[in-house]
């Protein structure tokens, strides 16, 4: 770690809480180099900018211009970035900020889920303190979901709150974690158990950064894209049925459309239920109760988050069928799209005895009872409570028979 200019350092007897979707409006394919989507939260509203990066240059420093518009006067930035992007997008962001005369404290974070820890957060706090970070400083997070969650929580907690900006560099972080203000770290017994809601001032998406993203990481992000079609946008799901193959080939126009649709979906849900008080935002956790247990029992980093979400969506669909919320055709359609995206459908080491205790700590647990986001049709899900443990176990085992990977 270091900083510039200073020392380095419930139907069917079960309880179902139905969540009505807001129907999405159709959009056209984008043709402009930079577009925006607003996350409408009153005085905490902010834009999501989507850029191809093709017109970015020293003469046209788009990021710096929009950064200034979002944060106003700024003389100090704490740039927290994934070590994997130090010499690419993080370097370009740093250059633009430097040219704008902004002092920069540069903090590089090792790649991987293990960095979302108490010890790493403490290290960041200490570097921020040593670098003279104050309430007028801005935290800029450049990287995937790990860096965004970690840097966001550092911003939320240091001096009781600093403004921050998200610059996601992975597909998963572009369509999910960078939008909505959830920040936090992991504990050994559970993922994202410590954190806060802390909205960014701006989200800057440069799709060009995906060109160098490893295939496994890119494909992992596809799970969150597909999730939006299952939970609230049947039209988008239908589109994905025909476009998944082109997406994993990183076709620029197809990819940009998918990112925009995903961000619009996330922005709608967050605007309706920012802090998960009405139950609407919980739909975004489809597949995640199982996924977080997979990640925790496998060991963070063994199974990528999107891979775990894909398997978790399959487990959730099996559970929905067992509880007679939907028929098997839903599972078949979901399986087909996930397979086309080359995502895993099962995990050979799935162990109910290990996963269930972890799931008992899930943030959707209410009065000691597990609740699940389950689909009743493509484009609609319900929050289901009082789910018998044996049915959860059966859903886990249903996705253990095929080899993982």
Catalytic residue among 66, 81, 92, 266: 266
What pLDDT digit, counting tens, does each position of 228-273 carry?
999 999 999 999 999 998 999 998 889 999 999 999 999 999 999 9
Catalytic residue among 191, 256, 305, 371: 305
Tell me what percent of the chain is helix, strand and coil, each rounded to the nearest 5: 45, 20, 35
Q: Where are the domains of the chain?
A: 32-211, 223-398
Catalytic residue among 35, 235, 272, 276: 276
The DSSP 8-state label assigned to residue 9 in this structure reads -
Q: What is the DSSP string of 163-201?
A: EEEEEE-SHHIIIIITSS-EEEEEETTEEEEEEEE---S
| 276: annotated active-site residue | yes
What pLDDT digit, counting tens, does each position of 303-326 carry?
999 999 999 999 999 999 999 999
Q: Would you state the CATH architecture of domain 223-398?
A: Up-down Bundle (1.20)
What pLDDT digit, counting tens, does each position of 98-148 carry?
999 999 999 999 999 899 999 999 999 999 999 999 999 999 999 999 999
| 126: annotated active-site residue | no
pLDDT class of 360 with cuts at 50, 70, 90: confident
pLDDT class of 55 with cuts at 50, 70, 90: low
Please give the CATH number for the structural domain made up of 32-211: 3.40.50.1970
Q: Is the pLDDT of residue 220 over 70?
A: yes
pLDDT class of 191 with cuts at 50, 70, 90: confident
Burial class, 125, CB count within 10 angstroms (exposed 0-12 / middle 13-18 / buried 19+): middle
Cβ atoms 228, 221 nearer than 8 A? no
Cα separation values, 64 from 49, 67, 193, 202, 346, Å? 12, 5, 34, 12, 43
Catalytic residue among 288, 318, 364, 380: 288
| 281: annotated active-site residue | yes
Please tell me the predicted confidence (pLDDT) of residue 370. 83
| 285: annotated active-site residue | yes
* Beta bridge partners of residue 377, listed in sequence order: 380
Q: Is the pLDDT of residue 84 over 70?
A: yes
Per-residue tokens: 162: 């600093």
Please tell me the predicted confidence (pLDDT) of residue 270. 96
Catalytic residue among 66, 92, 163, 182: 182
């Amino acid at each position: 770690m270091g900083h510039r200019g200073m020392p380095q350092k419930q139907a069917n007897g079960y309880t179902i809480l139905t969540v009505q979707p807001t129907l999405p409006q159709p959009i056209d394919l984008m043709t402009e180099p930079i577009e925006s989507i607003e996350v409408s939260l009153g005085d905490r509203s902010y834009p999501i900018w989507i850029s191809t990066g093709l017109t970015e240059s020293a003469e046209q420093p788009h990021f710096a211009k929009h950064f200034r518009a979002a944060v106003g006067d700024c003389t100090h930035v704490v740039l927290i970035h994934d070590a994997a992007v130090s010499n690419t997008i993080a370097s370009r962001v740093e250059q633009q900020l430097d040219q704008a005369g902004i002092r920069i404290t540069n903090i590089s974070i090792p790649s991987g889920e293990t960095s979302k820890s108490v010890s790493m957060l403490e290290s960041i706090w200490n570097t921020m303190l040593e670098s003279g970070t104050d309430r007028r400083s801005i935290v800029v997070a450049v990287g995937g979901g790990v860096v965004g969650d970690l840097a966001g929580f550092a911003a939320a907690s240091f001096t009781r709150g600093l403004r921050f900006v998200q610059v996601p560099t992975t597909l998963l972080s572009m369509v999910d974690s960078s939008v909505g203000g959830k920040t936090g770290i992991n504990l050994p017994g559970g993922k994202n158990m410590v954190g806060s809601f802390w909205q960014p001032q701006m989200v800057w998406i440069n799709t060009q950064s995906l060109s160098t993203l490893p295939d496994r990481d890119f494909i992992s992000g596809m799970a969150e894209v597909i999730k939006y079609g299952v939970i609230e946008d049947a039209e988008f799901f239908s589109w994905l049925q025909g476009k998944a193959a082109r997406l994993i080939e990183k076709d620029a126009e197809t990819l940009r459309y998918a990112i925009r649709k995903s961000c619009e979906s996330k922005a709608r849900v967050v605007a309706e239920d920012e802090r998960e008080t009405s139950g609407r935002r919980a739909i975004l956790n489809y597949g995640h109760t199982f996924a977080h247990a997979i990640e925790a029992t496998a060991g963070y980093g063994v199974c990528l988050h999107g891979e775990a979400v894909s398997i978790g969506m399959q487990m959730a669909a099996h559970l929905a069928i067992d509880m007679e919320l939907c028929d098997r055709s839903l599972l078949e359609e979901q399986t087909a799209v996930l397979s086309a995206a080359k995502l895993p459908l099962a995990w050979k080491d799935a162990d109910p005895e290990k996963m269930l205790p972890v799931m008992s700590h899930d943030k959707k647990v209410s009065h000691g009872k597990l609740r699940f986001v389950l689909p009743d049709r493509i484009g609609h899900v319900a929050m289901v409570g009082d789910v018998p443990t044996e049915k959860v176990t059966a859903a886990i085992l249903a996705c253990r028979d095929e080899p993982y990977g």
